[in-house]
Amino acid sequence: MITNEQFQKTYEESIKDPEKFWEQVAREEISWFKKWDKVFNWDFPNYQWFLGGKLNITFNCLDRHITAGKGDKAALTYLNEKYERITITYKELLLQVNKFANGLKSLGVKKGDKVVLYMPLVIEQAVAMLACARIGAVHSVVFAGFSANALRERIEDCQAKIVVTANWTLRRGTKKELKSTVDEAVKGLEFVENVIVLSRGSSSRSERMTLSGDKETDYHQLIQNQSDICEPEPMESEDALFVLYTSGSTGKPKGIVHTVGGYSVYTHYTTKKVFDIQDGDVYWCTADFGWITGHSYVLYGPLSNGLTSLMVEGTPDYPTPDHWYKIIEQEKVNIFYTSPTALRMLRKYGEEYPKKHNFESLRILGTVGEPINPEVWLWYKKNIGGDKLPIEDTWWQTETAGHMIVALPGLTQKPGKAGKPFYGIEADVVDEKGQSIPANEKGFLIIKKPWPSALRDCLNNHERFEKYWTEIKGVYFTGDFAIKDEDGDIQVLGRSDDVMNISGHRIGSAEVENALVSHPAVSESAVIGKPDEIKGERIKAFVVLKPEYSPSDDLIKDIKSHIKREIASMAVPDEIEFVASLPKTRSGKIMRRVLKARELGQSEGDLSVLDQ
């Protein structure tokens, strides 16, 4: 815990000389094989951190804790909806990682090669991610809820040499097939050299999935005879660690590239400070590895700090509404980090459920992914936080890789406001020209300078990367609206671009529209997000049919399953309305803004460009 004064002092020092600040953090918190020659270089818009430095993130996440005598401590604990529990110590995890890393090498995987993971939230996925990092292969995790088409698009974009998957994932008592989705996704892709398949629930060999073809390898067989020693590849600070796809305002997802050095330093340090960690902490972040939160705050950040990180496969309310509360109690969780969507869901079930459980172990609570409604924040504080625990409302993005705006434990926290920029981060709320705007007025949230874990590139699309720094010339454009109050506390309001936030997941309007118009009956479409009590936002689609089709319930069903096939179930519109035409500008651009205003009964704003 820190005081407002202590924070202010350190923050001011960090801003006065961010290079000095981050250099000290890098030296004190991270082990390097070779020290950097230069802390920071900014050749606008490109930048690098810790140039010339060499390290491996897995050394920081595993080896150094073992050397320090913590090898027998639990690194990861896996739980699921059947209350099956698997725990793996730092020592065991390193052996598994090394075996898998050697397995990857035996398949010809080299530094810089791309490996796509399409897996359930199981320990083997953590092993696969770390094994890639161990040998310098670049992982790209695709959330296992995406469709075969969406997966294929990502595999093609990053030209993955290997895809790692499992036979199934478990959700609400049902097994969802993953392997068949991968089969469909990689069909005919010659550059994919191998698909590694984890057969779950099958310690006995006879239960294992029968694999077909010479391009498939059984996960267990691959590691069976591998050595458990694999020296960590000395990575350049600016070598890529991973690519993670996220939605933008265009139809195509962007492959956000993060590099080893800056990412290691920033995620380690934010985990340490934001969650005020103590030796022996049991830490639970409810995210999936398929999102950036799973990368930075289930895996790398917590392991780099030597915590015990929980990973729970499934949903908050299955098999019972107090499933998660039971886990907090049973595992004696000290730090709990989740999303507003999950909290809204838990809140709906009523206060009697949290009341039944003992939350004495909890010390710090957190939330991420979307704006948290003040009433949900207050509910969280009262019902899980016993009216006393700090709530870390962390604002950040796939592109930032780590927490950017948050009121650290001990600071004044206001319901619904993320708070202050983290150390070394200068944020502001500005107009479209980049001018600061007065307190309590809505504007664009920007970050003034590159920070260590800022995205370095968009894969195969450097121009798109540059746009982040040129949308408002010279600063990082977050794409969010925000308000800064008179104390400098920031409230993030939501996206300013055509990106929706469904249950804390980004989905581009254009992405859903592209999928809609690829349906044979659809001529044109426009997609907007509408407020939703649980999911934050839900999708509404306006659809113009081709003349030979007429509206029907069957057609709605068919269009919905088409979107599920093209993208994912989370991208399926809750509402589809058939319309005769869409509002457009004279140049033919569809005005989603107008549709949204009409839908929500708000002012339609400036309509001078509308072609009426």
Q: Please report, as ranges, the residues that interact with ligand WT7 according to CB under 6 A.
A: 246, 291-293, 368-371, 393-398, 418, 478-480, 492, 494-495, 501, 504, 506
The minimum distance between CB 279 and ligand WT7, in angstroms, equals 27
Q: Which two tokens stand for residue 517?
A: 């118009």
For residues 10 and 249, which CB has a smaller minimum distance to ligand WT7 in the complex?
249
- Ranked by CB distance to ligand WT7, the top (closest) residue is 398
Whole-angstrom distance, CA of residue 267 vs CA of residue 261? 10
Whole-angstrom distance, CA of residue 424 vs CA of residue 450? 10
For residues 14 and 338, which CB has a smaller minimum distance to ligand WT7 in the complex?
338
DSSP per-residue letters across 480-530: EEEEE-TTS-EEEEEESSSEEEETTEEEEHHHHHHHHHTSTTEEEEEEEEE
The minimum distance between CB 281 and ligand WT7, in angstroms, equals 21
The minimum distance between CB 162 and ligand WT7, in angstroms, equals 25
The minimum distance between CB 370 and ligand WT7, in angstroms, equals 5
Q: How many residues are listed for the chain in this entry?
A: 612
Q: Where are the alpha helices (DSSP H) in 59-205?
A: 64-65, 90-106, 123-135, 148-158, 179-186
3-state secondary structure 470-488: HCCCCCEEEEEEEEECCCC
For residues 158 and 274, which CB has a smaller minimum distance to ligand WT7 in the complex?
274
For residues 309 and 394, which CB has a smaller minimum distance to ligand WT7 in the complex?
394
For residues 434 and 494, which CB has a smaller minimum distance to ligand WT7 in the complex?
494
The minimum distance between CB 600 and ligand WT7, in angstroms, equals 18
> In degrees to the nearest 10, what's the CA dihedral of 407, 410, 411, 412?
110
Strand, coil or helix: 105: helix
The minimum distance between CB 117 and ligand WT7, in angstroms, equals 18
For residues 59 and 481, which CB has a smaller minimum distance to ligand WT7 in the complex?
481
Q: How many helices (H) and strands (E) does the chain have?
A: 20, 30
The minimum distance between CB 57 and ligand WT7, in angstroms, equals 19
298 Cα distance to chain centroid: 10
Q: How many CB atoms lie within 10 A of CB 332?
A: 12
Q: How many CB atoms lie within 10 A of CB 475?
A: 20
For residues 246 and 259, which CB has a smaller minimum distance to ligand WT7 in the complex?
246
Q: Which two tokens stand for residue 234?
A: 């000395």
Q: How many CB atoms lie within 10 A of CB 205?
A: 10
3-state secondary structure 363-420: CEEEEECCCCCHHHHHHHHHHCCCCCCCEEEEECCCCCCCCCECCCCCCCCCCCCCEC
For residues 80 and 397, which CB has a smaller minimum distance to ligand WT7 in the complex?
397
The minimum distance between CB 298 and ligand WT7, in angstroms, equals 12
For residues 87 and 397, which CB has a smaller minimum distance to ligand WT7 in the complex?
397
The minimum distance between CB 277 and ligand WT7, in angstroms, equals 19
Q: Which two tokens stand for residue 502?
A: 């469904």
For residues 167 and 491, which CB has a smaller minimum distance to ligand WT7 in the complex?
491
The minimum distance between CB 339 and ligand WT7, in angstroms, equals 8
Q: How many CB atoms lie within 10 A of CB 550?
A: 9
